[in-house]
Structures are given as structure tokens and as C-alpha cells.
């Protein structure tokens, strides 16, 4: 009997993991991303296809803990002062986008599909609140969470989470069944719970984890981390707020803790598994019978709502100073409805604001929008990559400077500082529009130009420059520029950043006036600091640095005349120990 009960418990888990193990690598291999793989696996094992799972609502509610833990981990990376600095974006950018999108989508529902005002508002409000799970997963996969654009997306998502209580209060106000409920009491309860969470997080969590750390047991710390995440989520849920938002704020308050990395490593395995389960549960929730019966209306709603919301997101992004490229990128992320729509539509159905058929229609539209988001982002990325935005970027033309810097990355930026400190007039070109715009934010005037093109070099003032500083990280392109410069601009000294030792040898053979390997001087300094850390006298450190630098230059000279293996006797190598058994090596 025990074995049978265990089998009934383990069997579904094996099915879920098996479906994910097959679908996710396949979809990633096809370039469609893991989110769509989880969705597809969920549809396959759900009630509409194979039918291995029927209670999808329970699975969806449980798997929301994955989103909760994900937001907790994101919070751990965001210090309180950073969150405070984002307040303008949260209540400015977030408010404008949400308000404008709700208005536009509500009108779309009423004017295009003939929905009643209350029904149109509920349909639009549910679609406005984007999927935190989808967007944050994409941002993390791309490493964009800490970027300026990533922070704006996080700000919008936080404001959307804050909108949960007001929207549920509106549902209660619109409901003929729940109209007597005092919505303002819900708001006070939510504010009280939020203040309680922030207070406990600020003054209670560090002592709590310090106490657990004294036990010196990894399992206790893991249990403590889970307790904090689940406790914060439960408190927010009890107040009618987003569980994910509660976990996020708890993470933010722990971001300065010395236990942050330990907590993050403890939570990570649970977060990954439950996030995958959440996306599978969303796929299971797709009712294909509704799709078959209402496919025309569903398709029309999906297209109309997506276009309307996309237009609003793009317009708001541009209104707040985003470039065309940035606005399109953000639009592709926020086109979908989110997991909160399921809660809002369910509450509206219980309250009699919408009927079960409308609930099924709106929910299906949201699920399809979530599934399509990875595909839309892939398409947007390819479109934006194929034609980089040149907005705010000026092409090099009729420049004149004593020095022409080609490439304004980290190396070129630092090199320019010494010249600028003496008032030297510079001309600077780079091929990366984003880098050019970013440099402009800090007061640098950088022009767009490909240094491997002779016409670009003429337009950039190379024919009158006294020196060319080639600071790009492409060895082949650097050598091509050297060849052009030596032939066309003999008056200019040619100074080049070399990528590595082999590139340095090629540049010396090409006859440049000066080359320097990009990491060699910083490596010398690191080695010197290592000797100082061990207590060596300053004279000994300087002597060692001079000796190594001399040996390296001699070896480089021999490699120019010979090959990569020349000059090995100039290297310091540690002695090879004899075998441990004491028998001399033969």
C-alpha cells in the first residue's frame, strides 16, 4: 500500500520532469528559448491533450512560488538606495504606462468587440499587467537586469504589482454581489502589511540569520531562507498584495547582509525548478476546446490587444526619452498579459462582473500572449540587430584634430584622458551606436565611423592628424587600419592597442611607432602588489618589475625575428618537483 501511494506521488513528478527535460533543450536548440519549451510541455501533458493532469489550478497556484523566489533573488541584487533612486521611474514611468494602457485597452474592448464598459475595463486591466515571470526570466537570461533599460522594466513591473489591490477594489466596486465590501479597508490592510514587512526585514532578518549561522548547519540556513521567502509571500497574500512583491522587498532589505550570497545559493535550486513548473502550469491551463470553438474571436482579440498595448508602451517609452531602439526593445517585452490576469478575471467572475465564457476567452488570450512573447522578442532582436538605431549618432565628416582616436571602448576612453588633460584637440570615431550615445551622456563627442574604410579616415581628419591611436579590440581590423595609415597618412605616428602577444608581434613587424598589449601593464602592477602583500621591500619589488619587463621585451624582440617559441629562456618558471617517492626522474 505504501509503495502504491508513493508511486501515485512520484509518477506525476516524473512526467513533469520528463516533459521538461525533452521540450526545453529542444526549444533552446531551435533558438526559441526555454520559456516556450515549458509552455509547450505543459500543453502536451495538460487536460487538453494527453490529459495526465486535470487539477491545473492547484499546480499553477503552487508553482507561483517559483516567481516568488525569483523576485526574492532579484531583490538580493538590488540595494535599498538603488530602489529609492528608482522611485521616480516606478511612480512616473510605471504609472503613465499602466494608466494609458488600461484606458486604451478598455476602449479597444468596448469599441472593437462591443464589450460593456465594466467588462472592457476588466479585460483591459488584466492584459495591461505584464508577466513578471516572463519578463524577468528574459532579462536574467540576457544579463540585462542591472542595465539602465532593465531597471526601467523592473520599475514598471513593481508598479504593476502595486496596482493589484486597487484593481481588486475596483472589481469589488463594480460587482453587484460584492459592492458592500469597503475597498478602502483593503488598501489600509495592504499598507499595514507592507510597512510590517519592511520593518521586520530591516531590523529582524540580519539577527535572525546571524542566529542560524551559529548552528553551522547548511540545512538550517536553507530552511531559514525558505521561511523568509514563504513568510513574506504569505503576509502579502493575506493583505491581498502580490506574493512576488513581498518576496522582492524582503530580498532588497537583505541585499546588504553578509549572508546574501549564502541565501541566494540556498534558494537558487528551488527557484529554478518552480519557475519551470509555473510556465508548464500556464501551458496546462490552456483550454483547447475554447480555442477550437472561439478561434476567430480569440485571434482578433489577441491581435487587437497586442497592437494596442504595444503602441502605448512604445509611445510612453519615447515620451520618457527612450530612443527608437530602446522603445521597440521594451515594447517587445511588455506585449503580453501576465499571471495576475488569472486572479483578476477569477475575482471578476466570482463577483458577477464577467461571465464564465468571458473569463475563458480573456484567460486564453493572455496565455497565448505569454507564449508568443519569446517569439516576438526573437523577431524584434533580429530586426533591431539587422539595422542598428542611428538615432542621436552623427557620422564622421570634416573632422580635424591633432589626434584621431579609433575605438572608444574602455581602452580608448582611458587613453583619451591624458590627452584631454593637456587640452589636445581630439577626433574620435567608433562603430557602436550604443557606445556613442552612452559616451554622449558623459559629455564626450564621438562620431560614427568604420576605421577600416579609407573614406572614413579622410572624413575623420586622418590626413592632418599628428597621431593615430588605434584602440579597437579586433586584431585583424587593427592591422588593416595600420596598412591604410602607413600608405595614406605618412605624417601621422601610429600607436596601436595590441590584443595579445601574437598581435603585438604582427604590429611590430608591420612597423608601427608604438604598440602595447592591453593587459600587460595592469598585470605587472598586480604582480608587484602581490610581492608587497608578502612583505617584500619596495626596492625589491621595483627590481623584480624591471627585470620581468626587460625579459619580456627581449623575448618579444626574439619572437619578432623568430616564432612564438623563441625566447622561452627569458621566462621565469617554477622548478618541477621530483616524484614524491624520492626516485630521481630519468
Based on the domain organization, do 196 and 284 belong to the same domain? yes
Based on the domain organization, do 506 and 366 belong to the same domain? no
Closest CA to 398 of 326, 447, 431, 451: 447
Based on the domain organization, do 186 and 295 belong to the same domain? yes
Contact 37, 23 (CB under 8 A): yes
Q: Tell which wins on pLDDT, 465 or 571.
A: 465
In whole angstroms, give the CA distance from residue 168 to residue 12.
34
Give the count of domains, the chain: 2
Based on the domain organization, do 352 and 413 belong to the same domain? no
Residue 5: CA atoms inside 13 Å, Cβ hemisphere, count?
Answer: 2
**β-sheet bridge partners, residue 448:** 395, 430
Helix, strand, or coil here: 495?
strand
Q: What is the β-pairing status of strands 493-498 and 426-430?
A: unpaired
Kindly report, residue by residue over 63-114, the tens digit of the pLDDT: 667 767 777 777 776 676 666 777 777 778 888 888 999 999 999 988 988 8
pLDDT of residue 307: 92
pLDDT of residue 468: 92
In whole angstroms, give the CA distance from residue 426 to residue 460.
10
Q: Taking the model in full, what pTM does it have?
A: 0.61
pLDDT of residue 583: 43
CATH of the domain at 467: 3.40.50.720
Cα–Cα–Cα angle for 128, 131, 135, rounded to 5 degrees: 120
In whole angstroms, give the CA distance from residue 489 to residue 59.
70
Based on the domain organization, do 380 and 467 belong to the same domain? no
Q: Is pLDDT at 160 greater than 50 in this prediction?
A: yes
Q: Tell which wins on pLDDT, 67 or 478.
A: 478
Residue 551 burial (10 A CB sphere; 0-12, 13-18, 19+): middle
Choose the most confident range, by mean pLDDT, from 15-19, 222-226, 524-528: 524-528
Contact 425, 402 (CB under 8 A): yes
**Mean pLDDT confidence for 160-170:** 75
In whole angstroms, give the CA distance from residue 272 to residue 67.
9
In a domain, 411, yes or no: yes
Contact 232, 205 (CB under 8 A): no
In a domain, 304, yes or no: yes
pLDDT of residue 581: 45
Per-residue HEC secondary structure of 70-88 comes to: HHHHHHHCCCHHHHHHCHH
pLDDT of residue 556: 81
497 phi/psi in degrees, rounded to 5: -80, 120
pLDDT of residue 530: 93
CATH of the domain at 364: 1.20.1530.20
**Mean pLDDT confidence for 179-195:** 66
pLDDT band at 471 (very low <50, low <70, confident <90, very high): very high
pLDDT of residue 494: 92
pLDDT of residue 1: 46
Residue 584 gets the label, from left (phi > 0), alpha (psi -120 to 50) or beta, of beta
pLDDT over 90, % of the chain = 9
In whole angstroms, give the CA distance from residue 235 to residue 151.
26
pLDDT of residue 308: 92
pLDDT of residue 487: 87
Q: Is pLDDT at 469 greater than 90 in this prediction?
A: yes
Based on the domain organization, do 374 and 418 belong to the same domain? no
At a CB cut-off of 8 Å and minimum separation 6, what does 241 contact? 161, 164, 165, 190, 193, 194
**β-sheet bridge partners, residue 395:** 448
pLDDT band at 130 (very low <50, low <70, confident <90, very high): confident
In a domain, 391, yes or no: no
Kindly report, residue by residue over 497-519, the tens digit of the pLDDT: 988 888 888 888 888 899 888 88
Based on the domain organization, do 379 and 472 belong to the same domain? no
Based on the domain organization, do 349 and 484 belong to the same domain? no
The boundaries of the domain holding residue 437 are 403-570
Assigned C-alpha cell, 475: 586584431
Q: Is pLDDT at 466 greater than 80 in this prediction?
A: yes
In a domain, 8, yes or no: no
141-145, 327-331, 366-370: least confident range: 141-145
425 phi/psi in degrees, rounded to 5: -75, 120
pLDDT of residue 107: 92
pLDDT of residue 495: 93
pLDDT of residue 575: 59
In a domain, 185, yes or no: yes
**β-sheet bridge partners, residue 494:** 468
pLDDT of residue 286: 72
Based on the domain organization, do 369 and 448 belong to the same domain? no
In whole angstroms, give the CA distance from residue 308 to residue 302.
10
Closest CA to 451 of 437, 424, 469: 469
In a domain, 565, yes or no: yes
Q: What is the β-pairing status of strands 493-498 and 467-470?
A: parallel
pLDDT of residue 178: 52
pLDDT of residue 247: 76
The distance of Cα 558 from the centroid of its chain, to the nearest Å, equals: 47
How is the chain split among helix, strand and coil, in percent rounded to 5?
70, 5, 25
In a domain, 440, yes or no: yes
Closest CA to 435 of 397, 472, 481, 404: 472
Based on the domain organization, do 375 and 335 belong to the same domain? yes
In whole angstroms, give the CA distance from residue 281 to residue 46.
8
**β-sheet bridge partners, residue 405:** 428, 469
Based on the domain organization, do 89 and 44 belong to the same domain? yes
pLDDT of residue 36: 72
Q: Is pLDDT at 174 greater than 60 in this prediction?
A: yes
498 phi/psi in degrees, rounded to 5: -95, 140
pLDDT of residue 315: 92
pLDDT of residue 513: 92
Kindly report, residue by residue over 233-291, the tens digit of the pLDDT: 788 777 766 676 677 777 777 776 667 777 777 777 776 677 777 777 777 777 777 77
Based on the domain organization, do 367 and 418 belong to the same domain? no
pLDDT band at 61 (very low <50, low <70, confident <90, very high): low
Q: 95-118 in b/e burial notation, b at 16+ Cβ within 10 A?
A: ebbbebbbebbbebbbeebebeeb
At a CB cut-off of 8 Å and minimum separation 6, what does 157 contact? 130, 132, 135, 136
In a domain, 518, yes or no: yes
Assigned C-alpha cell, 104: 486604451
Residue 348: CA atoms inside 13 Å, Cβ hemisphere, count?
Answer: 29
At a CB cut-off of 8 Å and minimum separation 6, what does 303 contact? none
Q: Is pLDDT at 117 greater than 80 in this prediction?
A: yes
Amino acid at each position: 500500500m505504501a509503495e502504491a501511494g508513493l508511486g501515485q506521488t512520484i509518477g506525476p513528478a516524473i512526467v513533469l520532469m520528463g516533459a521538461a527535460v525533452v521540450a526545453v533543450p529542444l526549444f533552446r536548440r531551435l533558438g526559441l528559448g526555454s520559456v516556450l519549451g515549458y509552455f509547450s510541455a505543459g500543453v502536451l501533458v495538460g487536460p487538453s491533450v494527453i490529459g495526465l493532469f486535470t487539477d491545473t489550478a492547484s499546480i499553477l497556484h503552487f508553482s507561483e512560488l517559483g516567481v516568488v523566489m525569483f523576485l526574492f533573488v532579484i531583490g538580493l541584487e538590488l540595494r535599498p538606495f538603488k530602489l529609492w533612486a528608482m522611485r521616480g521611474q516606478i511612480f512616473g514611468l510605471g504609472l503613465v504606462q499602466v494608466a494609458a494602457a488600461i484606458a486604451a485597452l478598455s476602449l479597444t474592448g468596448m469599441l472593437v468587440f462591443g464589450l460593456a464598459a465594466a467588462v472592457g475595463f476588466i479585460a483591459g486591466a488584466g492584459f495591461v499587467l505584464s508577466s513578471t515571470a516572463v519578463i524577468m526570466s528574459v532579462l536574467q537570461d540576457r544579463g540585462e537586469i542591472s542595465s539602465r533599460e532593465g531597471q526601467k522594466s523592473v520599475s514598471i513591473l513593481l508598479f504593476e504589482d502595486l496596482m493589484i489591490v486597487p484593481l481588486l477594489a475596483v472589481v469589488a466596486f463594480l460587482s453587484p454581489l460584492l459592492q458592500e465590501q469597503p475597498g478602502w479597508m483593503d488598501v489600509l490592510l495592504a499598507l499595514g502589511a507592507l510597512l510590517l514587512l519592511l520593518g521586520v526585514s530591516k531590523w529582524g532578518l540580519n539577527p535572525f540569520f546571524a542566529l542560524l549561522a551559529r548552528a553551522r548547519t547548511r540545512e538550517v540556513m536553507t530552511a531559514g531562507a525558505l521561511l523568509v521567502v514563504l513568510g513574506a509571500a504569505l503576509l502579502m497574500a493575506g493583505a491581498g498584495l502580490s506574493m512576488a512583491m513581498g518576496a522582492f522587498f524582503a530580498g532588497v532589505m537583505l541585499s546588504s547582509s553578509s549572508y546574501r550570497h549564502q541565501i541566494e545559493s540556498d534558494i537558487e535550486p528551488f527557484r529554478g525548478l518552480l519557475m519551470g513548473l509555473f510556465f508548464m502550469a500556464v501551458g496546462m491551463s490552456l483550454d483547447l476546446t475554447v480555442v477550437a470553438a472561439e478561434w476567430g474571436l480569440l485571434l482578433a482579440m489577441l491581435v487587437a490587444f497586442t497592437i494596442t498595448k504595444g503602441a502605448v508602451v512604445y509611445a510612453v517609452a519615447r515620451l520618457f526619452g527612450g530612443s527608437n531602439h530602446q522603445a521597440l526593445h521594451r515594447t517587445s517585452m511588455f506585449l503580453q498579459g501576465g499571471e495576475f490576469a488569472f486572479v483578476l478575471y477569477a475575482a471578476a467572475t466570482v463577483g458577477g462582473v464577467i461571465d464564465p465564457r468571458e473569463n475563458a476567452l480573456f484567460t486564453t488570450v493572455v496565455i497565448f500572449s505569454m507564449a508568443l512573447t519569446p517569439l516576438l522578442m526573437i523577431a524584434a532582436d533580429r530586426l533591431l540587430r539587422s539595422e542598428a538605431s542611428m538615432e542621436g549618432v552623427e557620422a564622421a565628416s570634416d573632422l580635424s584634430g591633432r589626434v584621431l582616436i579609433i575605438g572608444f571602448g574602455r581602452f580608448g576612453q582611458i587613453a583619451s584622458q591624458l590627452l584631454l588633460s593637456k587640452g589636445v584637440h581630439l577626433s574620435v570615431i567608433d562603430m557602436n551606436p550604443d557606445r556613442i550615445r552612452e559616451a554622449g551622456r558623459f559629455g564626450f563627442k564621438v562620431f560614427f565611423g568604420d576605421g577600416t574604410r579609407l573614406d572614413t579616415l579622410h572624413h575623420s581628419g586622418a590626413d592632418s592628424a599628428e597621431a593615430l591611436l588605434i584602440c579597437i579590440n579586433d586584431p585583424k581590423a587593427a592591422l588593416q587600419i595600420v596598412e591604410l595609415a602607413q600608405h595614406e597618412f605618412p605624417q601621422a605616428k601610429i600607436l596601436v592597442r595590441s590584443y595579445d602577444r601574437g598581435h603585438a608581434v604582427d604590429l611590430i613587424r608591420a612597423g608601427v611607432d608604438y604598440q602595447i598589449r592591453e593587459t600587460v601593464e595592469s598585470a605587472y602592477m598586480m604582480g608587484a602588489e602581490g610581492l608587497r602583500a608578502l612583505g617584500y621591500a619596495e626596492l625589491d619589488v621595483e627590481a623584480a618589475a624591471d627585470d620581468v619587463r626587460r625579459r619580456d621585451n627581449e623575448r618579444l624582440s626574439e619572437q619578432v625575428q623568430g616564432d612564438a617559441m623563441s625566447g622561452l629562456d627569458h621566462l621565469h618558471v617554477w622548478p618541477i618537483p621530483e616524484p614524491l617517492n624520492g626516485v630521481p626522474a630519468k
